[in-house]
């Protein structure tokens, strides 16, 4: 494989013998996209180009796990793409200054064999082209779920519920691409340490494989980064889901208004007019989200305590979980039901209602869908009970890594904790630093004992990160490394206590500087408890 450092190296345009085949467009119309769909393949990775491929050269987030979060300029690698066989280069109308001379002349490769097509935001067309080339017959129901918290649980609950109703189904996101068909679970795409949403071309190949497997019901996460990078453009989605919007990723988006704008591109541009918009009526940003959906002509299905389509009337705690009283509106059933679930916490209930709203608007019988809520299982790494200590304390891990997510997890734990609530958590480096003291304040307000430790420090000083958390967490203590913080929490816990270890959830690695080292909160808990038992 050629090294990605091979860039465009060109000479003066006066030296050309054959005319350069260049076409300029502001936007590509449907006819042009159909014509481009006849090419052998499409990619934004120059290393993957082959004969007859389209290379989309634009700025996007790398999918290289060794360069997590790095944004690469695909225009720098046109030379490599062409050398690898690209027949058409789709790139930007504007030319970066350092490539001005290069773009004037492509004699070595361009002309009769390679065409150059320039347009506004070429990355927008990677998805539509991938859909045409790789997956002309996608699954009938594709629900895209966006929001700060709850995406992973919602898509997994939807997959479970469809499966319980006898339908082959798939969830795509933070836990990979998981298919439930009959009694077999199939992992089509391994969970990615970098991307919760697959790279664009990979995604459409997954859809094609699902169609071959006759899987017609899919729920997948739609992160703000994926929406910003147009990774979901071209997806033939039937549903869009909005769970909530709270403080996160402001290091990338700048402020909450821009964060909201990017989230809403799901409803404003990815979804075709008339699609089903499932919205959390209790979310702070519900009203502007609903206004966008109405303007686009989407069918709004709102859920929650304020929801009209699916109303949460009452919650009652039980030994096994909760019992919910729900009122279904005229568009999804017109009845009031009482149903038990095995999960606890308002945030989990909201995720269940979001999933139920999707399932009920995908042709599933109301009584069957509602009746199967009782069989839903918790999602890996989401308020997951992983152990009970010999002293009688329960130990849970959770992926909560935002202020709102941490607050909701702690509130849920408080509801079933007879004794003290002990929290172990940290914050990640090279990410939104503004939420660190805020999460510290939430921790000491809602937990009885707080141990601040390391998350993924990345390139930052872990001690400095802990210090920023402690600015808001008066009375908390700092312990590192993470293993020792967990050990201390387990030693401190007695009968009736709950130990919540937040931030990593399902993750099986920790990022220390530029290294991704094997690590698991769940495995750490089990190792510590087993070691203690052997010493007794």
For 364-372, the CB contacts below 8 A with 24+ separation are 364/161, 364/162, 364/165, 364/167, 365/165, 366/328, 366/332, 366/333, 366/335, 368/165, 369/161, 369/165, 370/326, 370/328, 370/333, 370/337, 370/339, 371/339, 372/161, 372/164, 372/165
Q: How far apart are CA 28 and CA 76, in angstroms?
A: 23
Q: How far apart are CA 189 and CA 208, in angstroms?
A: 13
156 belongs to an annotated ligand binding site:
no
CA distances (Å), 148 to each of 172, 213, 247, 349, 495, in order?
A: 16, 31, 8, 16, 34
Q: Which residue is listed with tokens 């935002």? A: 402
CA distances (Å), 373 to each of 149, 183, 242, 305, 370, in order?
A: 21, 19, 21, 18, 5
Contact between 253 and 224 under an 8 Å Cβ cutoff? The reply is yes
Q: How far apart are CA 194 and CA 367, in angstroms?
A: 39
Exposure string of 210-228, with b = 16+ CB inside 10 Å and e = fewer, is bbeeebbbbbbbbbbbbbb
223 belongs to an annotated ligand binding site:
yes
508 belongs to an annotated ligand binding site:
no
DSSP SS3 for 446: helix
Q: What is the DSSP letter of 372?
A: G
| β 276-280/115-119 pair status | unpaired
- Reading the block at residue 255, the tokens are 């402020």
371 belongs to an annotated ligand binding site:
no
**By CB neighbour count within 10 A (0-12 exposed, 13-18 middle, 19+ buried), where does 48 fall?**
middle
Q: How far apart are CA 107 and CA 13, in angstroms?
A: 8
What are the residues whose beta carbons fall under 8 Å from the beta carbon of 499, sequence distance 6 or more? 389, 393, 394, 395, 396, 422, 423, 424, 489, 490, 493
14 belongs to an annotated ligand binding site:
no
- Reading the block at residue 137, the tokens are 């017959």
405 belongs to an annotated ligand binding site:
no
- Cis? peptide before 326, omega within 30° of 0: no
Q: What is the DSSP letter of 458?
A: B
505 belongs to an annotated ligand binding site:
no
- Reading the block at residue 225, the tokens are 């980064």
112 belongs to an annotated ligand binding site:
no
Give the HSE-up count for residue 528: Cα atoms under 13 Å, Cβ half-sphere. 22
153 belongs to an annotated ligand binding site:
yes
What are the residues whose beta carbons fall under 8 Å from the beta carbon of 208, sequence distance 6 or more? 134, 135, 137, 138
The annotation places the binding site for ATP at 147-153
Q: Which segments are annotated as binding site?
A: 147-153, 223, 231
């Amino acid at each position: 494989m050629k090294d990605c450092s091979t860039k465009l190296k060109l000479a003066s345009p006066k030296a050309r013998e054959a005319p350069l085949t260049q076409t300029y467009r502001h936007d590509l119309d449907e006819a042009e996209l159909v014509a481009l769909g006849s090419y052998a393949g499409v990619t934004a990775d120059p290393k993957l180009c082959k004969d007859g491929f389209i290379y989309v050269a634009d700025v996007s987030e790398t999918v290289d796990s060794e360069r997590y979060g790095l944004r690469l300029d695909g225009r720098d690698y046109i030379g490599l793409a062409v050398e690898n066989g690209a027949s058409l280069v789709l790139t930007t109308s504007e030319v970066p200054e350092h490539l001005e001379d290069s773009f004037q002349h492509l004699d070595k490769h361009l002309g009769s064999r390679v065409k150059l097509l320039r347009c506004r935001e070429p990355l927008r067309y990677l998805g539509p082209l991938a859909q045409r080339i790789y997956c002309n017959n996608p699954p009938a129901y594709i629900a895209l779920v966006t929001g700060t918290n709850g995406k992973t649980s919602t898509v997994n609950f939807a997959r479970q519920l469809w499966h319980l109703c006898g339908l082959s189904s798939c969830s795509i996101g933070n836990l990979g691409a998981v298919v439930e068909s009959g009694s077999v679970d199939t992992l089509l795409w391994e969970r990615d340490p970098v991307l919760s949403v697959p790279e664009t071309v990979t995604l459409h190949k997954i859809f094609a494989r699902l169609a071959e497997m006759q899987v017609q019901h899919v729920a997948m996460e739609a992160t703000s980064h994926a929406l910003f990078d147009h990774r979901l453009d071209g997806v033939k989605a039937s549903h869009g889901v909005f769970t909530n919007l709270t403080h996160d990723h402001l290091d990338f988006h700048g402020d909450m208004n821009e964060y909201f704008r990017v989230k809403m591109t799901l409803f404003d541009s990815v979804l075709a007019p008339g699609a089903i918009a499932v919205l959390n009526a209790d979310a702070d940003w519900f009203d502007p989200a609903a206004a966008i959906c109405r303007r686009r002509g989407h069918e709004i299905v709102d859920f929650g305590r304020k929801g009209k389509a699916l109303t949460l009337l009452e919650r009652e705690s039980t030994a096994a979980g909760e019992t919910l009283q729900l009122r279904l509106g005229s568009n999804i059933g017109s009845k009031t039901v009482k149903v038990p679930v095995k999960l606890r916490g308002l945030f989990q209930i909201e995720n269940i209602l979001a999933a139920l709203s999707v399932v009920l608007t995908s042709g599933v019988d109301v009584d069957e869908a509602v009746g199967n809520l009782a069989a839903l299982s918790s999602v890996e790494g989401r308020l997951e009970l992983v152990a009970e200590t010999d002293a009688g304390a329960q130990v849970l891990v959770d992926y909560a890594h935002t202020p709102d997510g941490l607050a909701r997890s702690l509130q849920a734990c408080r509801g079933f904790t007879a004794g003290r609530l002990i929290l172990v958590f940290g914050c990640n480096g090279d990410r939104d630093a503004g939420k660190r003291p805020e999460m510290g304040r939430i921790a000491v307000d809602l937990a009885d004992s707080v141990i601040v430790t390391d998350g993924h420090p990345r390139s930052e000083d872990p001690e400095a990160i802990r210090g920023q958390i402690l600015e808001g967490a008066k009375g908390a203590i700092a312990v590192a490394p993470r293993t020792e913080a967990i050990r201390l929490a387990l030693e401190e816990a007695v009968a009736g206590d709950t130990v919540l270890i937040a931030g990593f959830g399902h993750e099986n690695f920790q990022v220390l500087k530029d290294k991704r080292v094997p690590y698991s909160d769940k495995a750490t808990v089990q190792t510590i408890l087993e070691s203690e038992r052997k010493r007794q």
